[in-house]
Amino acid sequence: MEGSQKRLSKVPAYRPQLATLVDAPPASKDVLVELKLDGYRIGALLQAGEVRLESRRNNDWTAQFPTVAAAVKRLGAKSALLDGEVAAVLPSGLTSFQGLQNVGASGTKLVYFVFRFV
């Protein structure tokens, strides 16, 4: 995708909000809990029709997930920063890290689960 190699200047830098492993969820009703998915944590940066997908270490992953980049582009927003997980979802509804490694396998659907957006 043209322009995806450069930093999108008006979008904040991507800093993933990573989950913390705990023994039990908090008792408070005011706390949101994020499910553990077997995927890649990816930030989607959108600015003026350009999309860049970044790993948690800020590497450009746009070329690895072109369908995710295209979906983000269709949001219709002028700019946005999304934080989520790209995962392969099997027909059973479970996520599969191995399926993500072999995205072209039959019956495997790629999904971008968005946890927060700016």
Q: Which of 36, 73, 78, 109 is catalytic?
A: 36
36 is catalytic: yes
Conformation bin of residue 76: beta by default, left when phi > 0, alpha when psi is -120 to 50: left
Structure tokens at 118: 């700016």
State how far the Cα of 78 lies from the Cα of 19, in Å rounded to an integer: 28
Gap between the Cα atoms of 23 and 76, Å rounded: 40
Active-site residue set:
36
